[in-house]
Amino acid sequence: MTPALELERVTCTFVAGEDRAQRHTAVRDTSITVAPGEFVAVVGPTGCGKSTLLNIAAGLLEPSAGSVRVFGEPLAGINARAGYLFQAEALMPWRNALQNVIAGLEFRGIGPAAARAQGEDWLRRVGLGGFGDRYPHQLSGGMRKRVSLAQTLILDPEILLMDEPFSALDVQTRQLMENELLELWSADRKSVVFITHDLEEAIALSDRVMVLSAGPASHPIGDYRIDLPRPRDVAEIRLDRRFNEIHADIWHAMKDEVLKGYAQQRR
């Protein structure tokens, strides 16, 4: 089967604008393959170039070397088959929740009445039925994330790229959102690349966890299959014995890298 997303030996080096000798390699020689319907989490210490990888997969960034293939075809420009959930606030503040949700439909030229109906349906599905006319600043952080989720999912992307989407939320809201995400995902099993620095979140959500080394020039150092049964409840599964075994296993491999990353940041 053709993989949904294939990053092959991707290297990404940034050069400073003026001084071309000053370069920073964020990712080196990294290959990631995501099968259709697979939920892959990528974990690694902060500053290891996780977001860079995702931006490459989204087509927002061109790799210095290596290739990206989407369903077997080389990627050129924006990855139109992928949806992207950003870590930072990405909603357009001048559009209300409903207008934000249907923005993608509007860009595709879908009529306002049809777009509205779909948008309202999606707002209900993320639990924001009556909030369509609120502007982003009138919504809480968790609600804004839901709007973002609806905004991305309404376009029915085959691949979902998520960059620490819930990292800014409090623990309770976060677990709620994680469960909602799993529920939405299980309905039509998209391929997901989920970036996080939280190992527990990674294990609880995904089919596979990839561990990246500390930056700069980070590269994968481990690939773990998560054989926990689905459907899962992210709060309960953390108490599962198997969960803790996997966690100990991955953490053992990750610990040195986390310490390395920490030491580099302190320098």
Partner 1 sequence: MRSSGGRLKLRLWQAAVLLAVFCAWHALTVPGVLPPFYFEDPNKAAFFFGEPLKVLGRIWDWFSGGDIYRHLWVTLQETLLAFATGTVLGIAIGIWLALAPTASAILDPYIKALNAMPRVILAPIFMVWFGLGMLSKVALGVTLVFFIVFFNVFQGVREVSPTVLANARMLGASRRQLLRHVYLPSAMSWVFASLHNSVGLAFVGAVVGEYLGSSEGVGYLILQAEGVFDINTVFAGILVLTAFALALDALVALAERRLMVWQPRSGETERI
* Binding stretches for partner 1 (CB under 8 A): 55, 58, 60, 78-80, 82-84, 86, 88-96, 103-104, 106-108, 135-138, 148, 151-152, 155
Q: How far is the CB of 13 from partner 1 (least distance, A)?
A: 20
Between 105 and 250, whose beta carbon lies closer to partner 1? 105
Between 31 and 138, whose beta carbon lies closer to partner 1? 138
The residue among 213, 227, 211 whose CA lies nearest residue 264 is: 213
Q: How far is the CB of 89 from partner 1 (least distance, A)?
A: 6
Between 163 and 257, whose beta carbon lies closer to partner 1? 163
Between 162 and 181, whose beta carbon lies closer to partner 1? 162
- Rounded to whole angstroms, the Cα distance separating 252 from 250 reads 5
Q: How many CA atoms lie less than 13 Å away from 67 in the CB half-sphere?
A: 6
Q: How far is the CB of 259 from partner 1 (least distance, A)?
A: 30
Between 133 and 188, whose beta carbon lies closer to partner 1? 133
- Rounded to whole angstroms, the Cα distance separating 144 from 136 reads 6
Q: How far is the CB of 197 from partner 1 (least distance, A)?
A: 18
The residue among 223, 221, 224, 219 whose CA lies nearest residue 255 is: 221
Are the C-beta atoms of 207 and 225 separated by less than 8 Å? yes
Strand pairing report for 208-212 and 220-225:
antiparallel
Q: How far is the CB of 178 from partner 1 (least distance, A)?
A: 21
Are the C-beta atoms of 53 and 29 separated by less than 8 Å? no
